Copies of this chain bind each other. A is one copy, B any other.
């Protein structure tokens, strides 16, 4: 599913901006969801985006700014004065506002904050700017509705009416004590179904999932996914309620993590996008290409030691790609399964049991492939000895690559390195070298 707009439509808008056809533009965007407006804007240039944004009402404009792609945003926000930007930030949810301001240098950040009218929001944003982007504190918004444990339902509903105006997505009312320590929650449904005089203390759910502000964003995602939550409260070390994280932000975390893992698996060392500069794109690819190349040169050096054998039996060289490719494929398959098991909450049962399973699967696949290759070589080649060497080497490579693919991600994970790296060029390079080693050792032992 793509939320792209046709080039024709974008061109039409672009022309309307040029000719300042404001009524046409206002009509066009009236009632359009801010997420769709930001999709449209990704096709326009920075000046055109700004022109359109100024025609929208500031609340919609604020949403558009939050939802637009980060790269597009950066370009066109540069056209705004701090005062202009402040007008939108007054209307933006605190978590989005903090993310946006974090993209600016310190000086402009402070100028924007100084120009804002919504002083509660300014305080919220300043609080949020302290947190690292990838922890619960960096994901949370300050806007939430809370009720004191000593209130009744009527007081609680009045508070929803009062505080609720600022809160975009209201799922739940948090219950706190006089010191703002989080005690539990009341769902909107329960509140709607209760009579006015019921006490909050009789209605609230005391056992609820919560996260500390310092917890890692992936941990937050796991917890929300485990308990099927649409929102989770954030507390500080003293247990005080300081914010809430909504599921839409966590969905973004999950998607980004999946992309990062894919990139790690494919040997891209930085987050790259189609819109990056040439040199950025080239640079993201180079590190792992150089690792692979170094592996290849090491391999060349190793093969150099077998020059005599190779000139005597050049057919030995024919099977180098078969051996290295199979080693790489087997290694990546094994490591991917381990990486996914690690990601979905670790292993159940004993470690030795797992190694035994890997071992048996490797034997099954090794025997199957080695027999197929042996059969092929018996039909199409007349070097019976070499056929045996290739099959024995292939079998050994499959065994070793399975083992390597299994332990590498576990070891990386232990050292706090993203285990998905183990499904990438790293394991292929290792397995290429191991494969070559095994193949030529077997050949040296068996060919006379």
Contact = CB atoms under 8 A, between A and B. Distances in A.
A100 to B, nearest CB: 16
A380 B323 CA distance: 26
Contacts of A376: 297
A119 to B, nearest CB: 24
Contacts of A372: 290, 293
Contacts of A289: 326, 329-330, 333, 365, 369
A261 interface: yes
Contacts of A354: 274
Given A4-B348, A227-B35, A266 B333 contact: yes
B4 A346 contact: yes
A260 to B, nearest CB: 10
A171 B218 CA distance: 25
A1 B326 contact: no
A376 B346 CA distance: 43
Give the size range of A's interface with the partner. Answer: 35 or more
Contact of A219 (B1, B207, B288, B316): B1
A63 to B, nearest CB: 10
Interface stretch (A21-29, A46-54, A84-92, A307-315): A307-315
A341 B230 contact: no
Interface string A404-446: 0000000000000000000101001100100010000000000
A300 interface: yes
Interface in A286-326: 286, 288-290, 292-293, 295-297, 299-301, 303-304, 307, 310-311, 314-326
Nearest to A216: B1
A447 interface: no
- Main SS of chain A's interface residues? helix
Given A188-B189, A286-B368, A304-B318, A341 B274 contact: yes
A42 B428 contact: no
A191 interface: yes
B345 A2 contact: yes
B321 A3 contact: no
Q: Which 7 A-B pairs have the closest CB atoms?
A: A296-B322, A258-B258, A317-B317, A266-B336, A1-B222, A310-B314, A228-B248
11 contacts: A3-B226, A167-B189, A188-B192, A225-B251, A263-B336, A268-B336, A268-B337, A278-B360, A292-B325, A295-B325, A296-B325
Interface of A: 1-4, 31, 33, 35, 39, 42-43, 67, 157, 160-161, 164, 167, 169-171, 187-189, 191-193, 207, 209, 218-219, 222-223, 225-230, 246-248, 250-252, 254-255, 258-259, 261-263, 265-268, 272-274, 278-279, 281-282, 285-286, 288-290, 292-293, 295-297, 299-301, 303-304, 307, 310-311, 314-326, 328-330, 332-333, 335-337, 339-341, 345-348, 354, 357, 360-361, 364-365, 368-369, 372-373, 376, 380, 423, 425, 428-429, 432, 436
